[in-house]
A and B are shown apart, each in its own frame.
Chain A
Amino acid sequence: MQRRTTLSRPMSLAFISPAFLLVALFLIYPFFSIFSMSFTNQALTGAAARNPQYVGLDNYANLFDVDTWMTRGEFGSSLWITTQFVFGSALIGQAGLGMLIALLFFRRRDLVRHVVYTLAIVAWITPDVVIGFAWFAFLDPTQGTLNNILSIFGVPAQDWLLQYPLLSVIVFNTWRGTAFSMLLFTSALNSISPSYLETSQVIGASRWQQFRDILFPMLQTTIATDLILITLWTFNTFTPYLLTGGGPSYQTELMSIYTYRIGLQRFEFGRGSAVAVTVMLINLLLASIYLFISRTRKTR
């Protein structure tokens, strides 16, 4: 049977056109324009602004220069910091903690669950600037809540952002983003038919066996989906900038912050575009994996 349509083709095109225009201008055009810009020395001011020169692969050669690229504040160093950040805060932190919370409160509807879920969601939706300041106060070496609490247990005061900058932003971002994984895993767990678990209980399976043999296999695609999405988001997040500014001495300079410094503070558009191209290609790779997973899942 042919699908009924209530819109003629020209009419539906007209309905789509405003969206198409904006998406073309602010998503598709930027994606392609950075490729050509990354082969030039375009800048905002100076001679290169009026008359940008074609420089071939110079910008890329500069980024991937083996001698300097692992120096602090350079491209490779930033990529390595970002990798640790994604592993620590997204894959281990957010997904791990999210799964822990979802399992801990599985089939429970009590006050503790309600409080944990509400607080995690508040941490997730409060605007960036406010969160940045909250953590700045929380980690303050002399007056911060964290040191005040630790001193009760006899732990001496630490200057967290100076002594453990990367660890601090990893914990910060775990705190910030766990709610998404938590909610995603919770809704996936709730969609599993209770009869599976009841049957396994009757035959005497332990909790760990239940998780390993029933819950985990059924959650596999949800977990894969979650990991790819939070990797993508964590890879691009700029929020830690509000806590550390990328410092001290570039130790928390994630790719997003590095791109910002080169392309949007120093306005070296050519080099900034080369960085942006690399970032977007990594994004594209992650997004393709996501697409692949959700496609195979649908056809199953």
Chain B
Amino acid sequence: MSPLLLPLLVPFIAALCCTLFSKSLKVQRSISLIAAVFHLAASFNLLQNVRSEGIQVYLNGGWAANIGIALVADLFSSIMLVITGLISLVVLIYSLKEMSDKLQSRAYFPLFNFLMMGVNGSFVTGDIFNLYVWFEVMLLSSFILLAMGKKPDQLEGAIKYVTINLFSSILFLSGAAIIYAKTGSLNMADIAMRIAESSDEKLLNSTAILFLSSFGIKSALFPMFLWLPASYHTPPVSISSLFAGLLTKVGIYAMIRTFTLIFPLNNGLLQEFFYVIAILTMVVGVLCAASQFEIRKILSVHIVSQIGYMILGLALFTPLGIAGAIFYLLHNIIVKTNLFLFSGVILRKKGSCDLKKIGGLYKVNPGFATLFALSAFALAGVPPLSGFWAKFVVLKAAADAHEYLLLGSGLAVGVVTLFSMTKIWAEAFWKKQPEEYPGVGEDTGNQPWQIMLPIVFLTICTFALGIWGELIFNICVEAAEQLLNPTEYINAVMGEAK
């Protein structure tokens, strides 16, 4: 069996088994844990294969690539698969204790696995309509997970999230239909080849804008990001951290894939448009975050501003810029998930995430506070943690391209990020517990290992990504070169057709 199928089949089978054993939480937990470990191992295996043998292609049913559905894994896809595997395992362990048994028994495990299948599917598919289908698999699971628990604010957030995401899917479907009518193919490599020969700029640009708006909504770009801070802080923390880590990043993945392969950004107008969007996303996101007082809301809005850096890397369209965007993606997935996990612990200890109602965490638990500080400073980009190198590479690429406005706004946004993180630190950890609020959560004592292990592990990852970042950065550079040279991708996919 092709190693490409495993990242899809493992979560799928796990989801089915979990549905079968819906009566027993114990069995569902073991199945999901085993599946998550397999998922991670399969992704590593795929990454190894791609590194040693080049781009992997699997043609479903043996159809030619331009007729059937092709699954393709290049370096970028397999890197994303590995990080997805890692995050899914970590969040799964965390959720075992963080979510109540009652919530877990409400089809949490099948949905978790279906969500993973949707995310993985989006990463490996080489077919534009198939990408739409995987998006829908992912979205439907995420809708139900988001509304789980049925609290009023959750339902309210879910309505916003569902509406805007369905709208974005519809835009994507329209884009796919138009591009099919135009090129007569749905295979991304085939489309790329035909578009390169085409000269009809108006139709191509209009389709590109449809894709840009659709993926822009999914990855929360300015001005289409308001659904994110309205919904991401409402579900249980495990679900928030999974969404914060992975879902918007799938949008970014689709964006990078589309705008390197199908509509390369090296034409003037679209690229300048991306510059503007990148700056506005970074700046508006970070300013919105600075005005918030709820930890999870601060973190959610920061996702938006971080997305801006990744789009900046893509918009520069140089090998260094795209490598920086990929490295930033990895760093941000790890750090952002971890910070959400921290907010879960704060919620358990203090019963609230509102900065005005909590305080004194440093005095109670200095070890936990130090771990938080490491992750928060990594997000803000303090050397030698991972965020510093991620920002450094993206901004270096901006400087190399002589885009000093981008460079300046990137630096300024970094400073404001540091301000937000310091705010959480000062309010939640340093100041005394305000006397008018009790500040007592459901579990004030030592946290169980299921909660602490993921946090410690992800903090070590952040640290390692900072100190031994070169190894991973080199893979990112290779991935970026592969992305910027679509001929390799096209040959790998279409070559199999012959």
**A and B assemble together:** no
